[in-house]
Structure 1
Amino acid sequence: MNVTVVAGNPKPASRTLDAATRVAEAVGGQAPHSVIDVITLGSGLLGWGDAEVSAAVKTVAGSDLVVFASPTFKATYSGVLKLFLDQFATGDGLKGVVAVPLMLGAGPGHALAPDLLLKPVLVELGATTPAPGLYLIDSTFTEDTRIADYARRWAPVLKAARV
């Protein structure tokens, strides 16, 4: 299974990237094949046709499973992730991709954000999202069992949903 991580945090090498990589490993059973730290794509995200951004889009679109991760900003996903998602065609840009919406935050107040805000845009782009999104507390995800619990419950569903 070809697994990719997409981390949309304004800081490179963020906790968001770490959490997404851990989720991808737990669900996929191995390290992800590709990791895209969106902020490193720089100003190419602001237009169309940038070679590095196009390559990242192609990598994501060709993946079986993608963990799309963002910190919670103003109760929603980051603008950096939005800029990247805007590069995909509506309706079929993520056709054939099984997606896991993942968001991190400081407290439980936005626990529904992955399902209410990130999941709909992934579906609009054509992704299959058969499992609920995952919300992690950014200060405790390395110590609690939320990622392992999620993988134990949902990995079989995510793997079975591959087209």
Structure 2
Amino acid sequence: MTAFLFIISFALHALSLFIIILLYLQLSRIKEVEKRQSQFIKEMEQTVSAYLVEWKEENERFLNVLSKKMNRRNDDGEAKRPSEMRPQKGEWTLSLDHVEKMKDKVEISTVYAKKNEQPSASSLVEQVLQLQKEGKTIEEIAKLLKKGKTEIELLLKFRQM
């Protein structure tokens, strides 16, 4: 009778040890997934913050150019009003009238250019992926498409998911 109880005791101990090992393995997998998730979140935060910094710098450059155009001085040394600004040779004005006049010309020229282009990727994502397949670096892709390096990196990272 005691031999039977010892056998049952050993069997229950072995079963409980097996269950404890399985639970430990499952817990370690969950911790690993949690670690990868936190690393992914950190990378996304860094990418978004880099994109925002680049965006901020671009906006500051635009505001500097705009303020320089708005603060142009005439011969008397007085600041010109935007309505008084006239384009000098080779300059562009920032008036709404000018934008409205040029709008139709730009649309016509882009349609004409698209008709004369070779068939290529229609969207930015497709263009980026095509250039990446051709072996171009992120910097080269950004220069070719006239986009920011961070924007291209973001596009590629989101596309990988």
TM-score scaled by structure 1? 0.21
Q: Compare relative contact order (CA 8 Å, sep 6+) and give the higher one, 1 or 2.
A: 1
Structure with greater helix share of residues: 2
TM-score scaled by structure 2? 0.21
